[in-house]
Structure formats: structure tokens, C-alpha cells
Amino acid sequence: MNRAWIISIAVSLILIGGGAAGVFYIMKSVPGQMTVQAVLSAPPEEDAEKTQVPKDTQQIIFESQKLVVQVELEDGTIGSGFLYNDKGDILTNAHVVANAKDVSVITADSKSMPGEVIGISRDTDIAVVRVPGLKGKEPLPIRREDSAKLLDEVLALGSPLGLQNTVTRGEISGLDRTLDIDPFRYENMYQISAPIERGNSGGPLLDRTTGDVIGINSAKLDEETIGFSIPIADVLPMVERWSESPMKSLPEFPEFSDQTPSPVTGTDAEQASYLVQYFYDSINQGDFVTAFSLLSSSWQEKASFEEFRSTYHDILNVQVDNVVADPKEGSVEVTAFLTTEETVDGDVVTKKYKVVYPVVSENRAVKIGEGSVQELKAEDEEAEDSKEKKDGEKEEAA
């Protein structure tokens, strides 16, 4: 078997239409003891454990998330992908876009764009989607040659519009793994300890120290924090051929044709909460251009970019402590509680705020409308804590 670890198992591919209600299975029983599942983008069942990470790692995560997209099919299936060249080409898993030609992609700033599958493998779980709206945009950096080594630290990124833009952290825990998940064969796979939840499949695996893409997250071991990623260097020659000369006809996948996922995506409230979180992530990284682009046209008309940026001039750090979304007619009202560090008369002080924004749909994108900001004093914080506690008790009683 050389050094390969060959897993012959009861296999399940799980495709998600955006939530638990959209799950369907493709099962093939073969000898073995374990189950591997290839997972599409959707909200993780649990938040990844939150840990403090160095600023350089935070910067890598933030910049990379801008280039990770959600891939959406007409039947409601969703998945992840990422920009790998300046032609607007998205790299994703074949099981995300099997039997599809036209798809939609949603970017980290909630813009929806049309895309077309220009290449897909019948044997390797890789596909390329061309998105004209992303042409000319600088892609994620790709590690083209050196392979990952055992214990290299990695980041696994997922779909922007599952409940959140998921990022999990781990290390390379195994090399040269081989899996068979009908109809695909996975060879030379990286085994990773970064949890691959629903929301990561098709997304990039990054070297934590450089931000380079080293793999495509594709599968996980059921009930285990063991994931598998396709080394990107192994598939680059194939996908670059498709980018240079798109396939005239795409292969069919009868294995998927009889399955119909529920056409469910992240709820409006979930997407609105994500957008407000992303807005403050942008502020925190000093990316005021991205933050300004998330505002509604009516808000942008009232304040120039320079005026908007000057509002946050003295803020050193913003932490979103809690987000509550309340769907309204035609919009979602998002309330966020913030802790900031800012300079006041040369001193660094900590402040608490309550902000309320209407989040609306505008020109095929979700935007943040002009809202209200309230600085919280000690008595305000106590009142809010008491209200949240009572609301929680009511939910438990219900």
C-alpha cells in the first residue's frame, strides 16, 4: 500500500440545501468500519471554539475571507469556493456543482453574481466556476510546489453566508491518505485536525503562517474532528487547462440526479447578523473601503467616504459582544452590542455601545441601512443584562 492509508468504508455524501432540513444522503455500503462524509457549505452545527489569535493571523483570515464565496444552485444546494486566478474563476468541489451549468455565487460582502461551470472532473472532486463579475480581482495566493508537512499549522475557511464566515484552526495530522467516495477517488490527501463542519467543503485550506492556499477542503470523518483536503498542487494542471480552454460539454453525474435537496438557504436573520459582524470585522482591520461598500445607497448619499472613515478615526479596536436579529416587513432589524478601545484626549479608554441597524435587500445584495448608536453606561449595561436574562428564561419556559 506504499505509505497510503486506504479507507474502504460505508460512504456518505451529504449535500446541504442551507440547513438541517436540506440534508440528503448518497449511501454505498462497502467493507469497512468508518464513515467519511463530504460536506457542503452550510452553518456549522456548533461554533468553532473561539481562541485569541495573533494579529497577523487575524489579518490573513480577514483578507482571505473576502475571496471565499458561497456557490448556490437552482435546486437549493449550496457550497463553498474561492477565487484562484484573475479571470474570475472559482475553485470548488465537483460534488458541489454536479449536474449544474449555471450557478450563483455570493461574495463576502453579500453581492450575488452569476457564474458558469467551465470545468468539472468525473473522477476527481474538483470543478471550476467562472464568474465574470470577479474578473480582474486579485485571487488568493496559491502554493504551487512545496507540499505541506506534518504538524504544519492550517486554517480551514468555509462559506461566507452560512450562519457565519467559518474559520477553524488545526494542523496537518497525516499525509498521503486515499479515500473512495463514489464516484470520486481521493488520493494523496492531507489529513487535518482543523474541524471540517458544514460550511467548509469546497473552501480553501490555508497555511496559517503565509495565507497561501495549500488544499481544498472536501471530506470529514463522521463524528470525528478529522478532515481531509485535496492538495491544490495536485489539481492545478487540470483546473488551469479548464481556465484556458473551458469544457464544451460537462459530464453527467447520475449518482446525484435522483436527489432533491430542500431549497433552503440561511435565513434572512442569519444573513443580516453575519453582515453586521462582517462590517465591524472590516472596521477592526482598517478596511474602510469594504465597510463603506456594505452600507445602503441612502446612507452613502448622506455621508461621503471620508466622513464615514473619520467617524472611526479614534477607534483602535471593536469587539462584537452579541448580535440579535429581528425580522421585520421588508428588512431585518439587527441589534449589536459592542466593546471598543478608543483614544480620548490622548488616553486609551474602553467603551460600550448598543447599535441598531435595518438590514435591507438592494440590487441583488444585502445592505446595512442607517441606524442608531447609543453609548451604554453602567446602569444601561445592567438593564440590558437583566432584559437578556429574562428573555432567556422566557425561551426556556416556552
Q: Which three cell numbers stand for residue 306?
A: 471620508
Round to whole Å and give the CA distance between 178 and 3: 10
Q: Per residue in 348-362, is it b (16+ CB within 10 Å) or e — as a string?
A: eeeebbbbebbbbbe
How high is the pLDDT of residue 53?
A: 52
How high is the pLDDT of residue 270?
A: 80
| 109 DSSP β-pair partners | none
How high is the pLDDT of residue 117?
A: 98
Q: Which three cell numbers stand for residue 368?
A: 446595512
Mean pLDDT, the chain cut into blocks of 10 residues (398 residues total) = 35 33 28 40 40 68 90 84 98 94 90 95 97 97 90 85 66 92 91 76 92 92 80 97 97 77 58 86 85 88 89 89 88 93 91 94 82 83 56 51
What phi and psi, each to the nearest 5 degrees, are found at residue 76? 100, -10
Helix (H) or strand (E) holding 39: strand 36-39
Cell 460512504, residue located: 11
Report which of 161, 247, 235, 249 is spatially closest to residue 205, judged by C-alpha positions: 235
Q: Which three cell numbers stand for residue 199?
A: 460550511
CB atoms < 10 A from the CB of 287, how many?
Answer: 16
CB atoms < 10 A from the CB of 23, how many?
Answer: 16
Q: Which three cell numbers stand for residue 276?
A: 453586521
How high is the pLDDT of residue 67?
A: 95
- What domains sit in the chain, N to C, each tagged with a CATH number? 5-257 (2.40.10.120), 268-397 (3.10.450.50)
pTM > 0.75? no
Which residues lie below 8 Å from residue 139, measured CB to CB, with a gap of 6+?
67, 82, 83, 84, 85, 86
How high is the pLDDT of residue 199?
A: 57
Maximum distance among all Cα pairs of the chain, rounded to whole angstroms: 70
Quickly list DSSP for 221-269.
Answer: ETTSS-EEEEEHHHHHHHHHHHHHS--SSPPP-HHHHT---------HH
How high is the pLDDT of residue 254?
A: 87
